[in-house]
């Protein structure tokens, strides 16, 4: 699954266009490397996102195409930092 789509489906970032913009600015790393919006995300990958007010590091647990809001939280596990509301 594409990185920008994963960020949107998992609800880490609310809109895909915003996820794409964040990736384009180089603020997202996948397994320690700067990632573009089209980077393929697999189970077990570590995603790091740098926000203005901090950063989060999350491990990918699932890459389902369509999930409910309740199931979205199961798609990843926060390793460090905290989610932006």
Q: Which domain holds residue 73?
A: 3-80
pLDDT in tens, 29-84: 999 999 999 999 999 999 999 988 889 999 999 999 999 998 998 999 999 887 65
- Mean pLDDT of the region 4-17: 94
The tokens for 79 are 């390793």
Q: Is the separation of the CB atoms in 85 and 54 below 8 Å?
A: no
Query: What burial letters (b/e) apply to 24-41, b meaning 16+ CB within 10 Å?
Result: eeebbbbeeeebebebeb
Note whether residue 10 is domain-resident: yes
Note whether residue 71 is domain-resident: yes
pLDDT at 15: 94
Note whether residue 60 is domain-resident: yes
pLDDT at 54: 85
CATH number at residue 8: 3.10.290.10
Note whether residue 85 is domain-resident: no
Overall number of domains in the chain? 1
Note whether residue 59 is domain-resident: yes
Note whether residue 22 is domain-resident: yes
- Model-level pTM? 0.88
């Amino acid at each position: 699954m594409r990185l920008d789509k994963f960020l949107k489906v998992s609800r880490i970032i609310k809109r895909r266009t915003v996820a794409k913009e964040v990736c384009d600015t180089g603020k997202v790393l996948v397994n320690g490397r700067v990632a573009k919006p089209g980077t393929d995300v697999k189970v077990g990958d570590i995603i790091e996102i740098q926000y203005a007010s901090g950063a989060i590091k999350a491990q990918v647990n699932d890459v389902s195409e369509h999930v409910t809001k309740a199931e979205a939280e199961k798609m990843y596990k926060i390793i460090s930092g905290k989610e932006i509301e």
